[in-house]
Amino acid sequence: MKKLLEKIKKYDSEDLLKSGSVFFISSALVSILNYFYHLFMGRMLGPNDYGILGSLFAIIYLATFFTQTFNKVISKYTAEFNSRQQNSYIKRLIKQGFIKICLVGGIILIFYVSLSPLIAKFMKINNIFYIIFVGLIAYIFLINSILIGALNGLQKFIKQNISSLISVFLKFALAVFFVYLGIGIFGALGAIFIGLFAGMLSALYFLRDVFRNFKSEKFDSRKIYRYALPVFFSSLFPTLMITFDHILVKHFFSSVQTGFYSAAGMIAKIIWFGSGFFVLALFPKIVDVVSKGRKASGLLIRCLIYTFFLVAVGLSAYFIMPKLIVMILYGKQYLSIIPLIGIFGAGMGLFSLSQVLITYNLAAEKYNFIWILFVSFAVEIAGIYLFHNSLIDVVKVFFGSNLIMFIGILMINRKELGVNIAQ
């Protein structure tokens, strides 16, 4: 414990808590607006249509895992170039990244649309245009990830969060308006599309100084492509873990049961959204520290402690007053999910802690943890296929697979955490 405290004090100058507080305030507002969105959609659409919307959200998360890859790659090299005052490289990185993502994203979108009939059939969704609309949303997500990654790498955290708030506010307000007009699921999806587009425009505005004042200069981009591959897989498997369970639930259960699972999942994700904001500030700071030849283990430890504290606080509420939480967020028709939210929330808490470790390793260019992500995802898929007699079985599998992921990565990073198993 003494060693832990010494490491925490050593890195006070990095202002992780100060930067994290910016994301805390923003994340709190974004989370509130996101949950108002799901709260109103759950009540206005009802369990059946909300079950369809929830499964479509799983596709959005799944289809946009690419955004995490591009976001982290752009953030890392923007932070690295910024640390070395190589401003001309930053402009070229953003410009070329934006153009290439538009082209690659367009090709992926065409391929996705061609598969939409099969996806709709597997998920038992009658309207294929829901699936296609989700693809358009994913495309905007993909483009926006370049701009948000650049803002993050430049440590323009306030502007980054303003862009996110604009997007989420419009998503909520327009969704309520559209669904009230009777547009239904299309209205809920259309609001997301408009909000994302507005957020993208605001991010472009915040980056205007980069495009105006910096010259564009070529650099060796091969290392960026080499870095993108491990980032891709480290984003892919965790994203699959929190999305494919919803897709399998939609396959094995009715739309109403899927609606209940989606509601429980959204409540559980409060733990992640409410504790995971430190990661957003952690990544560029670790890149900055490592690029200067310093050790970043103190930042890792501090972030784990802060995240664990917030997870513990949230889970205490889930286990002490689950009925009150369900009643406030979704109402009487969702009371059957009460037994799910505690274990589900614990699984998301482990997921949040794992994200801290993943972020540290990626920023420090350490990739020997990726096989653990694959194993954890494989355990989850196999577990759900074997044990799906009830929703509680699925939730237990989700918790177990996240426990495997967290402990596995923790053991790999035991030296950074000052843990010596031999002693």
Report d(CA 147, CA 67) in Å as an integer: 11
pLDDT band at residue 60 using 50, 70 and 90 as cut-offs: confident
pLDDT in tens, 376-387: 999 999 999 998
Structure tokens at 55: 């499964």
Instruction: Give whichever of 62-71, 74-83, 105-114 has the largest mean pLDDT.
Output: 105-114
pLDDT band at residue 120 using 50, 70 and 90 as cut-offs: confident
Distance of CA 166 to the CA centre of its chain: 18
pLDDT in tens, 156-210: 878 888 888 899 999 999 999 999 998 888 999 999 999 999 999 998 898 887 7
Average pLDDT over residues 273-292: 74
Average pLDDT, the chain: 82
Structurally, the chain folds into a number of domains equal to 1
419 located within any domain: no
423 located within any domain: no
pLDDT in tens, 388-397: 888 999 999 9
**Does residue 339 surpass a pLDDT of 60?**
yes
420 located within any domain: no
pTM above 0.85, yes or no: no
pLDDT in tens, 131-153: 889 889 988 888 888 888 888 88
417 located within any domain: no
pLDDT band at residue 312 using 50, 70 and 90 as cut-offs: very high
**Does residue 8 surpass a pLDDT of 60?**
no
Between 340 and 18, residue with greater pLDDT: 340
Structure tokens at 319: 């286990």
Between 340 and 158, residue with greater pLDDT: 340
CB 149 within 8 A of CB 74: yes
34 located within any domain: yes
Nearest to 54 by CA among 123, 141, 140: 123
Average pLDDT over residues 356-371: 88
Share above pLDDT 90 across residues of the chain, in percent, rounded to a whole number: 24
| Cα dist from 313 to 301, 356, 367, whole Å | 19, 18, 31
DSSP notation for 94-150: HHHHHHHHHHHHHHHHHHHHHHHHHHHHHTT-S-HHHHHHHHHHHHHHHHHHHHHHH
Residue 18: predicted pLDDT = 59
Q: Which domain holds residue 261?
A: 2-412
Residue 191: predicted pLDDT = 94
- Give the number of other CB atoms < 10 A from CB of residue 225: 9
92 located within any domain: yes
Average pLDDT over residues 19-31: 69
Residue 23: predicted pLDDT = 64
Residue 1: predicted pLDDT = 46
Torsion angle in degrees (nearest 10) through CA of 239, 295, 22, 274: 40
pLDDT band at residue 11 using 50, 70 and 90 as cut-offs: very low
Instruction: Give whichever of 65-69, 93-97, 156-160, 312-316 has the largest mean pLDDT.
Output: 312-316
**Coil, helix or strand at residue 167:** helix
Nearest to 15 by CA among 274, 306, 383: 306
Residue 12: predicted pLDDT = 45
Residue 395: predicted pLDDT = 92
The distance in angstroms from the start CA to the end CA of the chain is 15
CB 373 within 8 A of CB 297: no
Nearest to 175 by CA among 57, 23, 270: 57
pLDDT band at residue 357 using 50, 70 and 90 as cut-offs: very high
- Outline where DSSP puts E strands in 228-377: none
Residue 174: predicted pLDDT = 94
Between 242 and 297, residue with greater pLDDT: 242
208 located within any domain: yes
**Does residue 17 surpass a pLDDT of 60?**
no
**Does residue 300 surpass a pLDDT of 70?**
yes
**Does residue 327 surpass a pLDDT of 50?**
yes
Largest Cα–Cα separation, the chain:
66
Average pLDDT over residues 98-120: 88
128 located within any domain: yes
